[in-house]
């Protein structure tokens, strides 16, 4: 998680664009709130980092895992750029990355404004 960023018109700088690869997320802390920031085809989206099911860290969606013998890798969940969803790495609940909603359960997580200025990503809580 990155260090506490500076404040700019209600927005906090959380990362440089290059720190968030396309189709992946990072975890940031803005005033004590744990937020996952995703790069979806160059558009940045900020949602709560905790899954509404059992609290998995959503920024790990799509992360590759390696087993103890280093013999295989596997990824769980990830960003769907066409549907604008992120699926949780634990049990694959699909959350709308713009509304934070999980359609099947009706549960919802927080979403936040995100913008890019001069190659820097900002989030407003
Ligand atoms: S904790 Fe996210 S789907 Fe279960």
pLDDT tens, residue by residue, 13-38: 999 999 999 999 999 999 999 999 99
Give residues (CB < 6 A) around ligand 1: 51, 53-54, 56, 88, 90-91, 93
Enumerate domains of the chain plus CATH numbers: 7-63+74-124 (2.102.10.10)
Spatial strand order of the sheet with 33-40 comes to: 7-8, 11-16, 120-124, 111-117, 43-48, 33-40, 25-30
Confidence of residue 65 (pLDDT cuts 50, 70, 90): confident
Most informative mutation of 90, 107, 108 for ligand 1 (most atoms within 8 A of CB):
90
Nearest CA to ligand 1 atom 1: 54
Is 102 within 8 Å of 115 (Cβ atoms)? Answer: no
- 3 C-alpha to center of ligand 1: Å? 26
Q: What is the pLDDT of residues 69-108, one digit of tens each?
A: 666 667 889 999 999 999 999 899 999 999 999 999 999 9
């Amino acid at each position: 998680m990155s260090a506490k960023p500076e404040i700019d018109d209600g927005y906090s700088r959380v990362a440089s664009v290059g720190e968030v690869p396309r189709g992946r997320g990072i975890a940031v802390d803005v005033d004590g709130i744990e937020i996952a920031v995703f790069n979806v085809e160059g558009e940045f989206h900020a949602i709560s980092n905790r899954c509404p099911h059992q609290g998995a860290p959503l920024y790990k969606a799509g992360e590759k895992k390696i087993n103890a013998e280093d013999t295989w890798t596997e990824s769980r969940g990830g960003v769907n750029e066409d549907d604008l969803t992120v699926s949780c790495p634990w049990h694959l609940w699909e959350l709308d990355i713009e509304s934070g909603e999980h359609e099947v359960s009706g549960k919802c997580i927080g979403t936040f404004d995100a913008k890019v200025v001069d190659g820097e990503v900002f989030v407003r809580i």
